[in-house]
Amino acid sequence: MAFAATPTSIRRILTGWLVWPLAVLILASAIPTYYLALNAANDAYDSALLDPVLAVANHISKDAEKITVDLPQVALDALRIDSRDRVFIQVRGPQNEIIAGNQRLPPPPSDIPPAGFIYYDTTLGEDRLRVAALHVPHTLGPVVVQAAETYVKRDKIVLDILLASMFAELAIALAALWLVWHGIGRGLAPLEQLRDDIAIRSPQDLRPVLPDGKPSELVPIINAINRLLGRVKSSIDGQQRFIANAAHQLRTPLAGLKTHAELALRQPSTLELRSLLDMIAGETNRTSHMVNQLLTLARAEPEETTDLYDNPVNLHEISARAVQDWVPRALAKNVDMGFELQDAWTYGEPLLMRELLANLLENALAYTHDGGTITVRTEERGANAAIEVEDNGRGIPEEERERVFERFYRAKGTPGDGCGLGLAIVREIASRHHGTVEIRTPAGGQGTLIRVEFPRMQRTLEPEEKSLRGAAR
């Protein structure tokens, strides 16, 4: 079983490409920062470490027979006092023998310059030590005085400097990420605008996308979209031309066939021949009706989006004009057709609106039994102008209510010889006018109610209408 890949945000990708280098740079910068902080700490504390060494060196005896330290134990203990570190002092003679101080302190390196001093690192057990060693000349040979201390306060100051530096770098990195995140969002705004411009289009709106004001990076995408829209438009145009041409080509021979069948029916003929001619005439009528439906469907699918909002249409007037055409048909079938009409203004193409109502009435009349009723309503409700056709016929099951809008689809058990295009045309015309079609069950519980809603036209009341409404109040 294949799973669709989860879409990844461009913003996240770009931000991710920034996060990892920033993290690596912050960690990499910690190494030189650590050594800089360590050198700074050593520079700050090494001079203080040399003070006890000089103090002890000043108390080494000048006796030519024996090297001693003329410093009481109390004084040596005082030199080792430190609030955070442990301090060790040691004096070594010419033979590297320990004259005074800590016995465990390691011997100094051999590169101490004569009458000079050095600093070096060593260990005592598990402790790291920083040592200051001084070379003191003596008549019996060189004497080395050492003072060592642990790294507690040095490590603390290094850690403080490192944390302060890392905190500053992290704050800068977070600020940079925030700026980049929002900057990428602003940078992607034209792409989102392009998405919104395409998303609000109707399926028939295949106009090219204008690249005006778009970033140069989007121009290739816009050009690719326009090429695709062009190919889709060419394909649709070809289909529409084929339907229209085929329908027009069929109308002439069908009209001739129908005329000849009607003429033949007027001539004396046998019962079998008359039955055959009746069948030919019926099939010709059915085929002619389907051709006319295909032509209507072709008109409902324009080659390019036409601005329909220049034509105010009153659904009341459209429905009133249908009375003279459809009431006689209803009476011939013993169906009571009534009209409940109110002004309902919208924008659209009057011819297509009449086709929409004709298909609704034809559908209702075809599936309403003798003695049934059909009601046509128009009204304005909220932001919509609506037209309804209600009948008390056999009704449309709920599971079929979506499929009946498919072209050439007819529900099982449907009587009559329809071609399954009527409701498809209704939805196509409604969609072109930014309207919706809904099939409901009438309040009586039997039959079908089809409601078509269009955006209501905002009208300015005429002075006479304003005065009449004021008087009514």
* Largest pairwise CA distance in the chain: 165
Specify the pLDDT at position 471.
Answer: 38
pLDDT surpassing 80 at residue 32: yes
SS3 92: strand
Query: pLDDT averaged over the chain?
Result: 79
Q: What percent of the residues of the chain are helix, what percent strand, and what percent coil, each to the nearest 5?
A: 50, 15, 30
pLDDT surpassing 80 at residue 400: yes
Mean pLDDT of 403-422: 69
Give the count of alpha carbons within 13 A of 28, CB side only.
6
333 Cβ neighbours under 8 A, 6+ residues apart: 365, 368, 370
Q: Which whole-number Å values give the CA distances from 147 to 109, 126, 169, in the listed order?
A: 14, 18, 37
Q: What strand order describes the sheet that includes 336-341?
A: 336-341, 373-381, 384-391, 448-455, 436-440
Tokens for 15?
A: 């931000």
Give dist(CA 54, CA 291) in Å, integer: 117
Q: Which whole-number Å values give the CA distances from 461 to 316, 378, 428, 464, in the listed order?
A: 17, 19, 32, 8
Q: Which whole-number Å values give the CA distances from 58 to 76, 78, 130, 439, in the listed order?
A: 13, 16, 22, 111
**Could you tell me the sign of the dihedral formed by the alpha carbons of 200, 202, 204, 205, in that order?**
negative
Mean pLDDT of 202-209: 78
Phi, psi angle pair for 209, to nearest 5°: -80, 130
pLDDT surpassing 60 at residue 164: yes
Mean pLDDT of 182-194: 80
Q: Residue 305 — pLDDT band, cuts 50, 70, 90? A: very low
Specify the pLDDT at position 322.
Answer: 82
* Strands 143-150 vs 312-314: parallel, antiparallel or unpaired: unpaired
Determine the number of helices (DSSP H) and then strands (DSSP E) in the chain: 10, 12
pLDDT surpassing 50 at residue 177: yes
pLDDT surpassing 90 at residue 378: yes
Q: Is there a contact between 243 and 294 (Cβ–Cβ < 8 Å)?
A: yes
Give dist(CA 435, CA 54) in Å, integer: 100
438/64: higher pLDDT: 438
Specify the pLDDT at position 452.
Answer: 94
SS3 415: coil
Give dist(CA 312, CA 321) in Å, integer: 16
Give dist(CA 410, CA 267) in Å, integer: 36
Give dist(CA 395, CA 415) in Å, integer: 12
pLDDT surpassing 70 at residue 245: no
Q: Residue 415 — pLDDT band, cuts 50, 70, 90? A: low
% of the chain exceeding 90 in pLDDT: 13
Write the pLDDT tens digit of every residue in 331-369: 989 999 999 999 999 998 888 888 899 889 988 888 888
Tokens for 413?
A: 């058990």
Specify the pLDDT at position 473.
Answer: 38
Chain position carrying tokens 């940079």: 176
248/223: higher pLDDT: 223
End-to-end CA distance of the chain: 69
Q: Is there a contact between 357 and 322 (Cβ–Cβ < 8 Å)?
A: yes
Q: List Cβ<8 Å contacts ≥24 apart for 118-121.
A: 119/42, 119/46, 119/49
Specify the pLDDT at position 472.
Answer: 34
0.85 cut: is pTM over it?
Answer: no
Give dist(CA 346, CA 457) in Å, integer: 5
